[in-house]
C-alpha cells in the first residue's frame, strides 16, 4: 500500500451517513417524478451509472420489456416481436422495411403495431450526416430546456438574454397537426435560445438554456 493510509475494520464505517432526504430530492429531479426507494438506493450506490440509466430511460422508455436479441441486434425484416407492457397487454410489432437514408442522417422505419401500419424516423449512426446535430438537453440539469417531442418549431417567444418567470411561454412546436407549448419551469435568465421558427427538432433536443445564477 506504500504511503496510503490503512483502513482498520469495515471500510463503510468510515463513510459519512447518507442523507436519504437529500438523495430523494436529487433523484426526483433526475427522473422528473417522485423517486422510489429503490431508485434512491441505486443513486447512493452508483450515482453516475444511475444518471446515465435515467437519461437512457427518459429518451427510449422502458427497454426492459424488449426481447434481448431485438434490443442488442435489432429485429430482422419480417420478424414479429411480442412485447408485454403490462399484465394481459401484449404488443405485436412486425418490422416491414427500413427506408433509404435522408440528408439529415435519419431513415424511416416502417412497421406494424398490432396489425396497424406505422412509421418512425430514427437516426442511423453509421452514416455521416451533412446536418449539424444539436445537443441533447441534460435531463438532470434544470438549466437545460429540451423539446418535449419531435416536431417543427412554430413560434419562439423569447431570445437570449431575456429574463423569464415560471409559467412564461418559451416556444411552441407542431407535430401530427397538434401544437404544444413549452413553458418556463423556473425563474431565470436565458443565456441561449438555439432554435427559430421552422426549425425541426427531435425529442429531448436542447432548445434553450438558463444562465448560471
Instruction: Say if residue 130's pLDDT is above 60.
Output: no
Q: Which residue has the cell 437512457?
A: 56
Beta strands (DSSP E) in the chain are 80-86, 89-98, 106-113, 116-123, 144-146, 151-156, 163-164, 169-175, 178-183, 188-193, 200-201, 206-210
The pTM score is 0.54
Identify the residue whose cell numbers are 496510503.
4
Residue 64 is given by DSSP the state G
CB 123 within 8 A of CB 106: yes
pLDDT of 41 strictly over 90: yes
For residue 1, name the pLDDT band (cuts at 50, 70, 90). low
How far does Cα 97 stand from its chain's mean position? 26
Q: What is the pLDDT of residues 45-92, one digit of tens each?
A: 999 899 889 888 887 888 999 999 999 998 999 999 999 988 999 999
Average pLDDT, stretch 133-153? 85
pLDDT at 27 > cutoff 60: yes
Among 63-72, 173-182, 193-202, where is mean pLDDT lowest? 173-182
- Report all structural domains of the chain as residue ranges with CATH numbers, in order of start: 18-60 (1.10.10), 63-123 (3.10.600.10), 144-210 (2.40.50.100)
Share of residues in the chain with pLDDT > 70 (%): 96
Amino acid at each position: 500500500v506504500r504511503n496510503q493510509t490503512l483502513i482498520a475494520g469495515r471500510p463503510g464505517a468510515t463513510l459519512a451517513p447518507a442523507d436519504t432526504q437529500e438523495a430523494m430530492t436529487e433523484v426526483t429531479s433526475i427522473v422528473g417524478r417522485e423517486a422510489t426507494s429503490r431508485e434512491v438506493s441505486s443513486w447512493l450506490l452508483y450515482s453516475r451509472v444511475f444518471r446515465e440509466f435515467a437519461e437512457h430511460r427518459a429518451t427510449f422508455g422502458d427497454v426492459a420489456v424488449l426481447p434481448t436479441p431485438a434490443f442488442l441486434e435489432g429485429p430482422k425484416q419480417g420478424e414479429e416481436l411480442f412485447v408485454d407492457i403490462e399484465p394481459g397487454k401484449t404488443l405485436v410489432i412486425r418490422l416491414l422495411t427500413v427506408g433509404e437514408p435522408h440528408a439529415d442522417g435519419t431513415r424511416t422505419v416502417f412497421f406494424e403495431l398490432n396489425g396497424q401500419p406505422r412509421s418512425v424516423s430514427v437516426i442511423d449512426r453509421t452514416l455521416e450526416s451533412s446536418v449539424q446535430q444539436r445537443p441533447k438537453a441534460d435531463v438532470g440539469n434544470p438549466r437545460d430546456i429540451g423539446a418535449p417531442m419531435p416536431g417543427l418549431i412554430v413560434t419562439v417567444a423569447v431570445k437570449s438574454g431575456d429574463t423569464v418567470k415560471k409559467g412564461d411561454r418559451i416556444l411552441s412546436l407542431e407535430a401530427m397537426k397538434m401544437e404544444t407549448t413549452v413553458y418556463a419551469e423556473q425563474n431565470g435568465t436565458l443565456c441561449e435560445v438555439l432554435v427559430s421558427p421552422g426549425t425541426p427538432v427531435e425529442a429531448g433536443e436542447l432548445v434553450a438554456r438558463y444562465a448560471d445564477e
